[in-house]
Amino acid sequence: MSKAGLAAVRGMNDVLPAEIGAWQHLERITRELFAAYGYEELRVPMVEQTTLFKRSIGEFTDIVEKEMFTFTEADGESLTLRPEATAGIARAAITNGLLRGARLKLWTSGPMFRHERPQAGRYRQFTQIDVEALGFAGPDIDIEMIAMTARLWRQLGITRVQLKLNSLGTPDARKAYREHLVTYFTQHAAALDADSQRRLGGNPLRILDSKNPAMQAVVSGAPLLTEHLDAESRAHFDALCATLAAMNIPYVIDPRLVRGLDYYSRTVFEWVTDALGSQNAICSGGRYDGLIDQLGGEHTPAIGFAMGVERVVALLRQGGQEFPRPAPHVYVVASGDRAMQVGLALVESLRDQHAALRFEMNQGGGNFKAQFRRADRSGAPLALVLGDNELERGVAALKPLRQEGGQQEVPLAELAARIPAILTTLNG
C-alpha cells in the first residue's frame, strides 16, 4: 500500500509504458489478421443485465456461481461486469437486429471481470480478444477459425503451444451422456471432492474439468463423451479433424475437454502452452449453435473463441522479443527563451509537412549539455539545434547523434525539404 493509503484493487493491474509495446504489437497483428479473414470489429458495453450471463453461461458454471461482479441499481435491476464477451455479442446481434439470416464475422476486445483467486496469469480484471462467427454451421468455419489462430501464433513467433480438440455433440447427445456420467460418478461418490459432489447435481460434465490432482484417477475412469456422440456431430468432428490434418495443423483430441461455459455444442478447442505454469490456456473457444435461440433470437449456428491477452503477452515477453517505444527521428535542442519560442513554432510547421516523422522537442529547459544528454537518450538519429547564434543568422544546426561528424547548418526555410534526405543517409 502506498503512503496515502491507496492501493490498486486486488487482481487488477496497471499496464505500464515499459510493457505496453508487447500489447500494442499483439493488438496490431490481430487487427490486421482479423481484417484479412473478413472479421469486423464490434464494441459492446462492459456491463450487461445479470440475467444475460445466467441464461447464456449457465447457472451451474464457476463463472455464474462464484465469479461475477454483480451490483444492484437503485431501481432494483441487477447488473454484472462482463465476465466474457460472447454473451454481450449475442445480445447485441439480437437487440440491434443484425441477424435476420445474415452471416456475421465479428471481433472485439477489452477487459473482462471475474472474481477469482488472483495468481500469475489469473486476474480479476483481465483482457480478452474475442472472435465470433454467427450464422455458420461449419465445419468449414471451425477449420478456418482454428487455422487463423495457428497463423496468429506463427506471426507472433509463439511456438510452445498445442491445440486440443473435442466435440460436445448436440444437447440431446449430451443429455444422454450426462446420465452415464451421473451413474458413474454416483458409483464413485466417495472419491469425489466437495466441488465435484456439488457439480454432480447441477453440472456433472464440469467434474471432468477438475483441476484437483486427487480427482484424476476417478476422472480418467469416467465414460467418454466421444463414445456417445450423435452421428451428425461425429461427421462434423471427423471432417474437422481430417481437414486440419490435411492442412498440417497438429492437434490432440482431448476427450475430457469440456470448457467451463454451458452454451457450447459440437466443436470445442483450446490452445495450451507449457511455458506459463498452471494457467496454461491461452485461447479457448467452441461452437454454440443453441445460444442465440436460447436468448430469444432466431436460430443461428455460431462459433467463437477468446484469447487471454495477459497470458499471450507473457509468452511474447518470455520469448525475449523487445517492443521498444519508437525513437524520435529528430530531437530538437533549443537553448534560450527566444530559441524555445521559435523552435516550438518551427517544429509544428515541420510536423505539418512530415506527418510520418517523429519530432521530439526538448521540454523543461536545461543548458545545451543537459539537452544533448536527453537527445542521446531519446535514441533519435538527428538533433536539430537552435541557439541565439543560429537564430541571428536564420539557420539551425543539424547534428547526427549516432555517428561522428557531418554537422551542417541549414537555413530555417530549407529544413523541411532537407531533413528527410539527411535522415535517409543516417539510416543507411
Q: What's the closest the beta carbon of residue 263 comes to ligand ATP, in angstroms?
A: 11
Does 31 bind ligand ATP (CB under 6 A)? Our answer is no
Under a CB-based contact definition with an 8 Å cutoff, are residues 72 and 78 in contact?
Answer: yes
CA dihedral 172, 131, 244, 173 (to 10 degrees): 0
Determine, following the binding rule CB under 6 A, whether residue 122 of this chain makes contact with ligand ATP: yes
Query: Among 312, 279, 326, which residue's Cα sits nearest to residue 155?
Result: 312
Stretch that binds ligand ATP, among 123-131, 155-163, 317-325, 420-428 (CB under 6 A): 123-131
Residue 391 exposure: Cα atoms within 13 Å on the Cβ side: 15
The neighbouring-strand residues paired with 304 are 132, 286
What is the footprint of ligand ATP within residues 253-272 (CB under 6 A)?
Answer: 260
Closer to ligand ATP by CB, 159 or 427: give it: 159
Q: Is 30 in the site for ligand ATP (CB under 6 A)?
A: no
User: Nearer to ligand ATP by C-beta: 80 or 371?
Assistant: 80
Of 150 and 395, nearer to ligand ATP (C-beta) is 150
Q: Which residues contact 63 (CB under 8 A, 6 or more apart)?
A: 53, 57, 83, 84, 114, 260, 261
Residue with smaller CB distance to ligand ATP, 283 or 291:
283
50 binds ligand ATP (CB under 6 A): no
Cβ atoms 260, 102 nearer than 8 A: no
Q: Is there binding between residue 128 and ligand ATP (CB under 6 A)?
A: yes
Question: Closest approach of Cβ 374 to ligand ATP, in Å?
Answer: 38
Peptide bond into 139 cis (omega under 30): yes
Residue 286 · residue 268 · CB < 8 Å: yes
Nearer to ligand ATP, 126 or 177 (CB): 126
Examine residue 206 and tell whether it contacts ligand ATP (CB under 6 A). no
d(CA 141, CA 104): 12
Q: Is 114 in the site for ligand ATP (CB under 6 A)?
A: yes
Judged by beta carbon, residue 12 or residue 35, the one nearer ligand ATP is 12
| 84 scored as a contact of ligand ATP (CB under 6 A) | yes
Joined grid coordinates for residue 152: 496468429
Could you tell me the smallest distance in angstroms from the CB atom of residue 11 to ligand ATP? 8
Query: What minimum distance in Å lies between the beta carbon of 274 and ligand ATP?
Result: 14
Residue 116 interacting with ligand ATP (CB under 6 A): yes
- Shorter beta-carbon distance to ligand ATP: residue 243 or 279: 279
Q: Counting contacts by CB under 6 A, is residue 82 touching ligand ATP?
A: no
According to CB under 6 A, which one of 39, 107, 123, 153 is a site residue for ligand ATP? 123
Query: Per-residue DSSP letters for 334-367?
Result: E-SHHHHHHHHHHHHHHHHH-TTS-EEE--S---
Site string for ligand ATP, 270-299 (x = CB under 6 A): ---------x-xxxx---------------
How large is the C-alpha radius of gyration of the chain? 28
Q: How far apart are CA 127 and CA 26, in angstroms?
A: 12
Stretch binding ligand ATP (CB under 6 A), from 72-80, 120-128, 161-169, 356-364: 120-128
Q: Which residue is nearest to ligand ATP (CB)?
A: 308
Question: Between 58 and 308, whose beta carbon lies closer to ligand ATP?
Answer: 308
Helices 86-95 and 50-57 pack at an angle, to 10 degrees, of 110
> Can you tell me which of 89, 229, 244, 306 binds ligand ATP, judged by CB under 6 A?
306
Residue nearer to ligand ATP on the CB measure, 86 or 371? 86
* Cβ atoms within 10 Å, residue 404: 6
Question: Are the beta carbons of 46 and 344 closer than 8 angstroms?
Answer: no
Q: Give the per-residue SS3 of 56-74.
A: HHCCCCHHHHHHCCEEECC
224 backbone dihedrals φ, ψ, rounded to 5°: -105, 140
Q: Which is nearer to ligand ATP, 240 or 306 (CB)?
A: 306
Report, in Å, the least distance between residue 258 CB and ligand ATP.
10
Q: Which residues bind ligand ATP (CB under 6 A)?
A: 84, 114, 116, 121-123, 126, 128, 260, 279, 281-284, 306, 308, 310-311
